Amino acid sequence: MSALSSLKKFKGSTHKSKALGRGVGSGKGGTSTKGHKGQKARKGGAIRRGFEGGQTPMARRLPKFGFSNVQFANEFEALNLDRLQKFSGTVGPEELQKAGLARKGSKIKIMGRGEAPAGLSIKAHKFTETAKAAIEKAGGQAEVIS
């Protein structure tokens, strides 16, 4: 395979472009292929993106709704107590990620559905009131991590 820098164009594959606005006899004189008058024939007469000729543009005709402040969003992965039945001792985000219950680097919120395993100490970013009460009732601990 040859190097890209050594490639050459085929003979006759390119042509010199015809000069614009160099008199009627040149074939591209007079209006210089821009037609007669009008905005597109003028110097600096570019039409901006989305311009619809004075008609109300699409971006203003369509309704706007919603607001998403994604850069400051705090998204938590919800995890119910009934999914923690196979654990014992102390459980943190690392153990939950190894078990496939949470994605790496995600914040975890423990929800209150199901029974809490007996004596389980759970470390998570957030707990619901019912989850915290169920864990403490089962003799465990709910530790909030930042």
Distances from the Cα of 90 to the Cαs of 9, 21, 43, 58, 96, in angstroms? 70, 82, 73, 57, 11
User: What are 41-66's pLDDT values in tens digits?
Assistant: 998 888 989 899 889 999 899 998 88
Residue 119 lies in a domain: yes
Instruction: For residue range 12-42, list pLDDT tens digits in order.
Output: 999 999 899 999 898 899 888 899 998 889 9
**Whole-structure pTM over 0.85, yes or no?**
no
Residue 16 lies in a domain: no
Number of domains in the chain: 1
Is 96 part of any domain?
yes
Q: For residue 114, what is the domain's CATH number?
A: 3.100.10.10
Of 95, 87, 77, 78, the closest CA to residue 138 belongs to 87
Q: Is residue 26 part of a domain?
A: no
CA–CA separation, 12 vs 24, rounded Å?
27
Containing structural domain, residue 121: 74-144
